[in-house]
Amino acid sequence: MALDPSRTVAELRELQELTGDADGAQRVAWTDTWVRAKEWLAERVPLEAEVDEAGNQWWTLPARSEKAVLIGGHIDSVPNGGWLDGALNVVAGVEVMRRLAEEGEPATTVRLVNWADEEGARFGRSLFGSSAAAGSMADQDELRTRRDAEGNALPDVLAEHGVDLDRALEARKQLENAAAYLELHIEQGPVLESLDLPLGVVLGTFGVERHQVTFRGQAAHAGSTPMDKRRDALAGAAKLELENREIAKRTGGGAVCTMGSVVTKPGIVTSVVETAECLLDQRHLDPATLASMLEAAKAGSERIAHEEDIEVEWERIWQIEPILFDDDLIELAEESIQEVAGTSHRLPSGPLHDAAEVARAGVPTVMLFVQSLRGLSHTKLEDTKEEHLELAVQALDRLTDRTIAWVGSRP
């Protein structure tokens, strides 16, 4: 059976028909629709499915060499999501598995995995299945207390799906023989479209620094306090937001800084702002550069506080290290893209992906991005040209063969 990329597009449309509605994809993990999507997927693979302790679905094409090339994605979606986010790779992976199965025993074991609950849409915990398999899940005590919007406890809902939270980390054994991990995903951003390129190689996922920055001034009457006598905390927030744009611009290399929220108190029209609580998110692929972006923002905030005669205080909310993909696999991915599309491009990923968890576990990893129209995702408007989807399936197929050969050539 030769590779048939147009079948992938047809199957993705069929999946959307089966599990979506007028508002978009509804394959939220740990719901009946998600179960239907998993069953639909299992019917498509010419191999027996195995479900691990974290709810991940695996299909294995065995070979004499137990070293395994993994192809992974996630069939779950956000509510009112797009038809391609996550589903593209598992469905494209099915096509590659069918082609390989038809050709007989591959040179190394090849496995397809559908990760459970990448999106974290129901309980707010992203990358559930992949972090369990990677062994990085360390928040089980906290997860025990999580509830969905209807008040259902996470452990109870998982149990209904055959997953015992206390045993989820036993999924780690699935990565024991993993020698490489490949993931194709829609870009979910505008870069490839702006370059008019169908495909790109992902260098890694951004590190993230997330802080609450609080400026404190003095509440004072809006009518009786002259402009030059004010200690206005909002002025600090406003200046820091503009400073952040300069920091990102001057840093370059894909640097992004976002002040996603400012809460002002007392927050009434008749008072100068006394406190402004800002949420700041900074991302970069290089750890030292990310650290210097944070330093620059802190120094900027001190200068601004001095200028405005206010105080500033920083508190870290969350951080994650940048995760870099494997240099050899990046080369192989680039060759594969050039073979099917002529030109490739290297870019970082702003969003996190299951691939980051697998890479963190020490498995050589790479991702392919295919162009997203208008850069939109997590909405029913998410889309990619059919011809680009077909090129993406071909690139994944070429990359799989190259990776099998690469794994075979390593000691």
Q: Burial of 145 by CB count in 10 Å (0-12 exposed, 13-18 middle, 19+ buried)?
A: exposed
- The four Cα atoms 28, 29, 35, 41 give a dihedral, to 10 degrees, of 90
Half-sphere exposure of 105 (CA within 13 A, CB side): 7
> How many angstroms separate the CA atoms of 38 and 302, rounded?
52
Nearer to Zn ion, 115 or 215 (CB): 115
Closest to 75 (Cα-Cα) out of 138, 163, 139, 11:
11
Query: Pairing state of beta strands 68-73 and 256-265?
Result: unpaired
Report in angstroms how near the CB of residue 76 gets to Zn ion at its nearest.
9
Q: How many CB atoms lie within 10 A of CB 269?
A: 5
- 85 or 334, CB closer to Zn ion? 85
Residue nearer to Zn ion on the CB measure, 86 or 217: 86
CB of 354 to Zn ion, least distance (A): 8
Q: Nearest approach, Cβ of 21 to Zn ion (angstroms)?
A: 20
| Closer to Zn ion by Cβ: residue 86 or 106 | 86
Measured from the CB atom, the residue of 125 and 402 that comes closer to Zn ion is 125
CA 93 to chain centre: 18
Q: In angstroms, what is the minimal distance from the CB of 376 to Zn ion?
A: 13
Residue closest to 312 by CA, chosen among 237, 407, 244, 203: 237
Q: Which residue is nearest to Zn ion (CB)?
A: 86
d(CA 59, CA 385): 29
83 neighbors 381 (Cβ within 8 angstroms): no
Binding site for Zn ion (CB under 5 A): 85-86
Nearer to Zn ion (CB atom), residue 85 or residue 117: 85
* Min CB(40)–Zn ion separation in Å: 18
Question: How many CA atoms are closer than 13 Å to the CA of 247, on its beta-carbon side?
Answer: 28
Closer by beta carbon to Zn ion, 85 or else 274: 85
Q: Least distance to Zn ion from the beta carbon of 262, Å?
A: 29
Toward Zn ion, which CB reaches closer, 304 or 323? 323
Q: How far apart are CA 361 and CA 212, in angstroms?
A: 30
Pairwise CA distance, residues 63 & 107, whole Å: 6
Q: How far is the CB of 243 from Zn ion (least distance, A)?
A: 32
210 to 236, 343, 353: CA distances (angstroms): 18, 35, 18
**At closest approach, how far in Å is the CB of 96 from Zn ion?**
18
Q: Of the two residues 87 and 278, which places its CB atom closer to Zn ion in the complex?
A: 87
Least gap, CB of 227 to Zn ion (angstroms): 49
Q: Compute the least distance from the CB of residue 60 to Zn ion, in Å.
A: 23
CA-based nearest residue to 367, from 90, 117, 85, 72: 72
Residue among 5 and 86 whose Cβ is closer to Zn ion: 86
* Contact between residue 398 and residue 336 where contact means Cβ atoms under 8 Å apart: yes
Structural contact between residues 360 and 130, judged by C-beta atoms closer than 8 angstroms: no
